[in-house]
Amino acid sequence: MRHGKPADEAQGICYGRLDVGLSDSGRAQIRSRISLLRFLAPDVIYTSTSTRATESATEVEGLLNLQAQAVPELCEIDFGAFEGLTYTELERRFPREFRRWMESPTDTNFPGGEGFFDLKRRAIAFQRSLLVKHERKTVLIISHAGINRVLLADALGLPDCHIFRIDQTYAGVSVIDYLPDSVFVRLMNG
């Protein structure tokens, strides 16, 4: 599940690790997914350590009678020097890096931050650890568009350059079944 819509101060700026909370509409988006989450009956919840993700988890914990575990592996990409700047400011201050990001996002390393492969490496390693730790269990991950796209693209066998073909709406729920010999994506952005 992606976190709900962030607070207004995040609108129009680049944020990954920048710690912004949820908006009131973001809280409502998360609560609107409760019946689907109850139907999925998670056994455990993991969340990013970011405020927007932990506040999203808080909206569902009590209703699912579970306590979320916040882990840094599920954090959004660190945009480094790009964090907190508008896209106009980015284009003006970092023209070459900004252009590369727009043309080839999975080949971009952000000044003072991470690159796509850093995000992918930690997301996939964490996902693999969950398959061992929670075999035959339903795990709810409340995270970010970048993490969720990586996990969905991996399940679908998509090349990295196509991950942005996967939409990630605020509070969207995706379901991936990991079976011994196969993986099925059952739902995207539910």
How much is the pLDDT for 111? 96
- Decide if 149 is inside a domain: yes
Please state at what angle helix 51-64 crosses helix 24-31, rounded to 10 degrees. Answer: 40
Residues 154-167 have pLDDT tens digits of 999 999 999 999 99
How much is the pLDDT for 152? 98
- Decide if 174 is inside a domain: yes
- Decide if 78 is inside a domain: yes
Residue 163, helix vs strand vs coil: helix
How much is the pLDDT for 139? 98
How much is the pLDDT for 8? 87
Structure-block tokens of residue 172: 């969207």
How much is the pLDDT for 100? 95
Confirm if 177 and 156 have CB atoms less than 8 A apart.
Answer: no
Cα separation, 11 vs 134, in Å, equals: 36
156: CATH: 3.40.50.1240
How much is the pLDDT for 5? 97
How much is the pLDDT for 78? 97
- Decide if 145 is inside a domain: yes
- Decide if 1 is inside a domain: no
Cα separation, 183 vs 114, in Å, equals: 28
Please give the helix or strand (H or E) that residue 62 lies within, else none. Answer: helix 51-64
- Decide if 2 is inside a domain: no
- Decide if 3 is inside a domain: no
How much is the pLDDT for 148? 98
- Decide if 83 is inside a domain: yes
Structure-block tokens of residue 14: 């680049």
Mean pLDDT, the chain, integer: 96
Residues 131-141 have pLDDT tens digits of 999 999 999 99
Residue 135, helix vs strand vs coil: coil
Torsion-angle region of 112 (φ positive above 0: left; ψ -120 to 50: alpha; else: beta):
left
Range(s) of the domain holding residue 149:
8-187
Number of domains present in the structure of the chain: 1
Structure-block tokens of residue 159: 């090349």
- How far from the centroid of its chain's Cα atoms is residue 51's Cα? 13
Ranges in the chain, pLDDT < 50: none
Helix residue ranges per DSSP H, 114-187: 116-133, 145-156
